[in-house]
Every structure is written in C-alpha cells, then in structure tokens.
Amino acid sequence: MYNTQFFIQGQWVDSQTSDTLPVVNPATEEVILQLPCGGKQDVDAAVSAAKSAFQSFACWSKEQRIQLLERVLEEYNRRIDDVAKAITAEMGAPVTLSQKAQAASGSGHLVAAIKALKNLEESHSLKKTEVYYEAAGVCALITPWNWPVNQIMCKVAPALAAGCTMVLKPSEEAPLSAILVAEILEAAEVPAGVFNMVHGTGEGVGAPLSSHPDVDLVSFTGSTRAGTAVMKAAADTIKKVCLELGGKSANILLDDVDFERSVKQGVLTCFSNTGQSCNAPTRMLVPEAEMDRVIAIAEQAAQKVRLGDPQSEETSMGPVVSKRQYERIQMLIQSGIDEGATLVCGGAGKPDGHETGYFVKPTIFAHANNQMTIAREEIFGPVLTIIPYTDEAEAIAIANDTPYGLSGYVSSADQERAIAVARKLRTGMVHLNGAPTDIFAPFGGYKQSGNGREWGAEGLKEFLEVKAIMGHNL
C-alpha cells in the first residue's frame, strides 16, 4: 500500500543503502512494512536537488506561492481519509482522533500558512533603507512520530510559503503518513527539487542533514536530548536552528474553580493522544485543602477512558507508539511508586485484556512533590501527577520549577486573575480555562523546550531571512 522509495528531485528513487527497519503497528505488534534507511549519499542527493531548485523557486511571486499552497490544500483534503488511516496504523491514534485532530491539523496548517503569506509584507521602508524578507534557503525538516502530519505540515507549509526548498526526514517509527504527504505534494505539482524526502534514523540521516554545509536552516521537533545533538551538529556551519522540544506543563487550578469541570478536563486532556503530546498538562497543581476531592474526581474521569482497538470509533485511547516507549513509561510509573507518590489508579503492567499491543494503563499519581521523577521527566504516556500547593505564589513557583517551558494551563473563575498568573509562567504558551490550541498562534517554548516558533505568521517568519538595502530609497 505504501511506496517505500525516497522522493528526490521530483522522482521516487531507491535508497543507496540496503539498511531497513520494521514499521510496527503498535496495537497489534505486526510489521506493516520494511522501511529503507538512507545514509549520507541519499542525504547528499536530496540536498543537491533542493539547492538546485532554490534559485528558481525563491524567485516565485507571492501570488504564485499562494496558488501552489491552495493546490496542495485541495489535494490534501482529497486524501485526508487516507492520511487518517495511515496515522492510526503507524502510531495507534484512535480513528476518531486521527480524523478530527491528527489528519485535520494538516489542512489547518496549510490554511494558516496561506493566511500568513497573504498578510506578509515582503518589504518595508526605513527612510533611505528598504528592508526585505527573503527565503532562508535549503531547509532540513526533521519530524517526530507523535503528531506526524501536524509536525510535517507546520514545517512544509510555511517553508513553501517563504519560497524555501527542503529535505524532510520523517520519523522512522511513523513514516506512512509522510509517504502520503509526498504523494500529495507531487500531485499538487510542487516543482521538482523543492520538496525531497529521505527516510532513516537520526544517526544515519538526521545527523548528516543537520551538519550538511549546503543546508541553511534546520527545523527539528523531538526530544530535548535529540535537539541538543541537532544543535551541536549544526554549529560548525553556523546555520539557523529552530527547535520544538519537550515539555512538562503545569495545569494550575486556582481555589475558585469549578473543580468537577476543571479536574475532569485536565485528566482527559492529559490522556489525549495517549499522553504523547509535548504540551500535555501532565502536572496538575491543586490547593492542598482540595486534594481529596480532586483525587475522587480524577479517578472517576480516568475510569471513563475507553482503552482499546484504535480502529474502533468507541475507543478514546490507543496504545503508545512502540515497545521502547512502553518500557520507558513502565520504568517511570515504577519510579513514582518507589518514590512514595500515591497511586490513584492505573500503575505498572498492561491493562487486562490488552496483552497484545503497547497499551498502558491510564495512570494517576497524587500527593506528589515537584522533586519526584514523575514530576521532573517528560513521561510521554498517559500518566498524570497531582501536586498540592498552599497558595498562589507557591503554585507559580512549582509551575516554573522545571527545565522545560513549553506550555501551561491556568483555570480560575476570575479571568483577570487567571491572566495575571499566566503572565508569571515561564512558558511559550498558556491555556486559560481549558481554551483549545489556536492553529494561527505561535507554538513554541522557553528554556529547554526549544527556540523559535511554529504555526501561523510567527512560523512563517522562521523561514525568512532579513536583508537591509541602504540607499535604496533616495
């Protein structure tokens, strides 16, 4: 069903290596296909194609790029059901989530890029000087498995809008939807060499892409550990590096909230996508006096999670992506038990009736403190840690006491109070009273959650360079 070749210079071509990796359905543990893994020669060919195409594509007018993106959007929407099915198969997202959120995000980022490009002022005057915004050049796009198409399209769409050419290295664990994206771009008549795709591992493809002297920009989404390696690999050639990394987001429930509503919403948001979201609210901060009530509501909410076959519309939570991820989550759950947190529900081992597949019990810990491993490390699974606080100042201090700074959540019956707390959080984003993510707003974080921004107008700016021509306006 899926083309396992690479896409280079507008053609589907074979890998120049014989290495392969199995792509496994995490719900069944069955191998879907053997994925070819590229190496330096494949990277060199893809970068060369992108470099050759850049000179011409960078000269396309704004109107031409808008028309191209509109063709891509039309073709994407035609294939959106195929994309959703691929995501369910490759990383276990329940079919409803795949359709309504995972695959739908691809359309959303195309719409956002089109709007940002239409609103972009390609130059502005400073008396005698004209300031231009131009395409950054050849871009290496390295994407993860947890929101595969979301992360591909929030890079590909603004790169096309800016007039950049690119080489995509999708996750080797979830490559199926990336293959469909390449087919969509081909059908939309993206010029040869503008978009290229090479499958492979971080070591075999990601590292040579990040260090390649003809790559001008690297846009990477993944773990903080891997992002550090990307930045080091890019350092010798002083290229622009945009990183969207991990998170350990705090969900502060102030003492005036509707606890029934806010706790339930916090639990379900944490468990969405099986907890495999970098901006998930994995630390719930609650008033110490309300801990018992919060525990009861949280446990009841967890019991309503429908764990099962991701192909079923009745399922609300599927497996985690891989055996390696499952084992890491089990280790961290055990650390919570060993370090003395109260296990409210879930725990170690597979759920009853789900011995096949990488299923994890929806797990909640309470009476935790911010020094426990489960409060410090990004677990990337359905594990919620509930931490008490004594007053608002302590809640803010606990929220900020983390090496991460991607997102945050604040709930209060007083909107102005919620905003005041949000302004004190050292994070790139804050959701007030359960507000959803805004696809037109900048996405990114402080501290070890990365640098730069994705999505919307700010995401487009990352793919632009700034040129000042002095004496232009005489």
Helix 103-119, helix 148-162: angle, nearest 10: 20
Annotated catalytic residue, options 244, 378, 454, 462:
244
Q: Are strands 30-36 and 20-25 parallel, antiparallel or unpaired?
A: antiparallel
DSSP class per residue in 4-57: -SEEETTEEE--SS--EEEEEETTTTEEEEEEE---HHHHHHHHHHHHHHHHHH
Other CB atoms within a 10 A radius of the CB of residue 292 amount to 10
Identify whether 244 is a catalytic site residue.
yes
Burial of 420 (0-12, 13-18, 19+ CB in 10 A): middle
If you count them, how many residues does the chain have?
474
Helix 80-91, helix 176-187: angle, nearest 10: 160
Q: Where are the alpha helices (DSSP H) in 37-164?
A: 40-57, 62-78, 80-91, 95-97, 103-119, 148-162
Q: How many helices (H) and strands (E) does the chain have?
A: 16, 20
Other CB atoms within a 10 A radius of the CB of residue 314 amount to 10
d(CA 379, CA 320): 11
Backbone angles phi, psi at 430, to 5 degrees: -140, 135
Please, are residues 434 and 415 in contact by the beta-carbon 8 Å criterion? no
Q: Which residue in 242, 269, 42 sits closest to 162, CA to CA?
A: 242
Query: Which pair of tokens denotes residue 405?
Result: 């700074």
Q: Among all chains, which residue has been given the structure tokens 């359709």?
A: 99
Query: Which pair of tokens denotes residue 203?
Result: 């070591």
CA-to-CA separations, 128 to 120, 121, 438, 469, 471, in angstroms, rounded: 21, 18, 38, 9, 5
Active site residues: 244
